[in-house]
Amino acid sequence: MALLDFRLARKAAAPATEPPDAALEELVPSFLQGFSIETLPQVAAKTPSYQDLVPEGASVYIAFVPGSDWRDIVHVAKRLRHEGLNPVPHVPARTMEGREELERYLGRLSEDAGVTQVLAIGGDVPAPAGEFASTMDMLETGLFDRFGIRRIGVAGHPEGYKPIGDAGIMASIKDKNAFSSRTDADLHIVTQFCFDARTVIDWDRRLRRAGNHLPIHIGIAGPAKLKSLMHYAALCGVGASAKVLKRQAFNMAKLASVSAPDRIVADLARYKATDPDCGIAQAHFFTFGGLQRAADWLDAAIKADFTPTQTGFDVHRDLG
């Protein structure tokens, strides 16, 4: 009932400008094709089957949060491969104690789980555990190529990243474009989640003007309780675009309601379909532990099992 109340309230607040866009029934499934999704070792331990939740061959990222053991990441990657999925482990530079540990980690990923794709990130820790202070430090070792890992995601931040600032972000993107051009590595950008399509579009165009040619896998927060989304937004430094959540949270009853990403998905689907220079290649979903809910929402959205609204669409699923 909370979800129904939330949807009715959102519809009532929607501006009566133009009728719902029926073209979404084509645009949304097209935009979501080839989506990837994220999980954690803790979530894997509570998930009986991934292959029952996501399509065969889908990419499932395995988050490596501070304090994790890379052996647990290898274990989940091996399981995902066994279930017919494409495991994409995180490789955090600042968490690695040095070249020897990175070599062991990548070797086990390759040999035990057949990993050919990873997400290489700086890692959100205050100081490097070893010699790697940045993603580029790891990439330049040549170890990824040695173990047959040539498809590599690198981090993107549509709302900025305070530790290095805008200038640092642009310099990093430039370095990664250059690395991709001079090596056999197939690089793409995987971004932090964002709640506002305009922020994403402006960022994509800014990167394009700066010379970015790496495809963008845009991070999107999957359906979750509004209270949880606000918590993760604050934790991950998602500021400006989270204002849309704060406006909803003025009504305390909504904090327990499920907020779905239909509006940003609808807006980005239109953007990708209408701008031939759009740099967004696909969508990447953060689930915040709610893997089943995200899978249900994605299944309905891809099948166009939804009703277009003034601001997005409502899937024909009970998201709890």
Q: State pLDDT tens for residues 35-51.
A: 999 999 999 999 999 99
Q: What is the pLDDT of residue 12?
A: 39
pLDDT score at 234: 60
- Could you give the CA distance from residue 297 to residue 311 in angstroms, rounded to a whole number? 17
Q: Count the Cβ atoms, other than its own, within 10 Å of residue 141.
A: 15
Q: pLDDT tens for residues 75-93?
A: 999 999 999 999 999 999 9
254: amino acid identity, one letter: K
- Please compute Rg for the chain using Cα positions: 19
pTM metric for this prediction: 0.88
pLDDT at 244: 58
Q: Which single residue is written with the structure tokens 């922020």?
A: 199
d(CA 81, CA 72): 14
Encode 282-293: b = buried (16+ Cβ within 10 Å), e = exposed.
bbbbbbbbbbeb
Residue 183 pLDDT > 50, yes or no?
Answer: yes
CA 154 to chain centre: 11
With bands split at pLDDT 50, 70 and 90, how would you rate the model's confidence at 1?
Answer: very low
pLDDT at res. 9: 39
d(CA 58, CA 240): 31
pLDDT at position 252 is 42
Average pLDDT of the residues in 53-66? 95
pLDDT average, residue stretch 173-200: 95
Q: What is the DSSP letter of 254?
A: G
| SS3 (DSSP) at 11 | helix
In 3D space, the residue among 215, 87, 189 whose CA is nearest the CA of residue 135 turns out to be 189
CA distance 88 to 153: 9
pLDDT band of 6, cuts 50, 70, 90: very low
SS3 158: coil
Query: Residue 224, Cα to own-chain centre: how many angstroms?
Result: 15
More confident residue, 282 or 238: 282
Please, are residues 243 and 249 in contact by the beta-carbon 8 Å criterion? no
Residue 265 is encoded by which pair of tokens? Answer: 């998905």
Please state, in angstroms and rounded to a whole number, the distance separating the CA atoms of residues 246 and 288. 18
Centre a 10 Å sphere on the Cβ of residue 216 and count the other Cβ atoms it contains: 23
Burial class for 163, CB neighbours closer than 10 Å (0-12, 13-18, 19+): exposed
pLDDT interval class at 13 (50, 70, 90): very low
Give me the pLDDT at residue 226, please.
76
Domain boundaries, the chain: 2-13+22-299
Residues 251-269 have pLDDT tens digits of 444 545 688 999 999 999 9
Distance CA 303, CA 25 (A): 8
Q: What is the third-level CATH fold of 2-13+22-299? A: TIM Barrel (3.20.20)
